Amino acid sequence: MTNDEERAIDLNQLGISAFREGDFAGALSYFHKAEELMSAVVREALRTGRRMDLGNWLIILDHLGYAYLELGDLATAYHWSSLATQKAEEILEKGHREIGIFYGNFGRVLMAQGAYGPAEEYFQRALDSLRQHLPQDAPECMDQVHNLASVKMARKDYATAVDMFEAVLASQERALGSTHPTLIPTLSQLSFAQINRAQWKRAEEAAERAVEIARSRLGKAHPTTADMEERLRLLRQAVSSSKNVAKVKL
C-alpha cells in the first residue's frame, strides 16, 4: 500500500468521525480529499499495471453518496452512489458480499428521489446478495427488509409493510433486547402502517412503546423523544376525533 493510499484511508476515517459528530461540512471536506487522493492512486495503478485493492476506493465513493443523501442533496448523492454501485459491479466478483451494501445505499438514494420501483429493485438485490453470505435474520439483512417495508408503505401496500416491519422488530428484539433505541424507528413506522390498516389499538401500542423506549434510553429532552411523543399525540387525536388518520404524518 502506498503512502497516498494510507493517507486517503486516514482522511476517510476522519470524515466518518466528523459526520458522526454532526460536522457535515467537515465530513464532506475529508471525503472529497480522500476521493481525490485515492482516485489519483487508482489512475496511476491502472497506468502502471500495479495491482491494488480497490475496495477502499469504492467505500470512499459510497461515503460521499451517503453524506450528500443525509444532507438532502439528492442529485449529488445520486452521482456518487450510482458511481460506487457501477464500479462495484465492474470490480467485485458477482455475488460478492460487499455489493449488497452498495445496492442498499443506492436504493436509499432512489427512495429519497421517489423512484420507488427502482429503489425496491435495488433493496431486493441487496437482500439477495447479503443472504448468500449471512444468516437470514442478520442485522445487515434485516436492514434491507426494513428498507423494502418502507417502499411498500410508500406505495400504499400497508398489509405487506406491516408484516415486514413486524419481522424486523422481532429480529431486532432477539438481537438487541426489547428496549434498545434501534427499535424506535421500526415501531414508529409499524404504527403508521397499522393505522392505514385500521389497526388502531395495535398502532397505539407500537407508538407508546416507541415513546417509552425513547424516554428511558435517550432521555426526555432528546429530540427523538419529543418527535415520538408528538407522533403519539397526533395518533390519539386522530383516532379520538374519527378523522381521516391517513392525514397524520407519522
Separation CA 186–CA 145 (nearest Å): 11
CATH of domain 155-250: 1.25.40.10
DSSP-derived letter for residue 92 is: S
Long-range Cβ pairs for the range 107-110 (8 Å, 24+) = 107/147, 108/69, 108/147, 109/65, 109/69, 109/74, 109/77, 109/78, 109/81, 109/82, 110/78
Mean pLDDT calculated for residue range 15-36: 95
Which pLDDT belongs to residue 117?
Answer: 96
The ranges assigned to domains in the chain are: 155-250
% of the chain with per-residue pLDDT over 70: 96
Sequence-distant (6+) residues with CB within 8 A of 45 are: 51, 52
Which pLDDT belongs to residue 179?
Answer: 95
Query: What digits encode the pLDDT tens for the residues 195-250?
Result: 999 899 999 999 999 999 999 999 999 999 999 999 999 998 887 775 554 445 55
Q: Does 105 score more than 60 pLDDT?
A: yes
Which pLDDT belongs to residue 242?
Answer: 55
Mean pLDDT calculated for residue range 47-54: 88
Arithmetic mean of pLDDT over the chain: 92
Query: What digits encode the pLDDT tens for the residues 151-176?
Result: 999 999 999 999 999 999 999 999 99
Mean pLDDT calculated for residue range 38-63: 92
Which pLDDT belongs to residue 56?
Answer: 93
Mean pLDDT calculated for residue range 132-140: 92
Which pLDDT belongs to residue 147?
Answer: 97
153 residue type, one letter: M
Mean pLDDT calculated for residue range 72-94: 93
Question: How does residue 106 score in pLDDT terms, banded at 50, 70 and 90?
Answer: very high
Q: What angle do CA 46, 47, 48 make, to 5 degrees?
A: 95
Which pLDDT belongs to residue 177?
Answer: 95
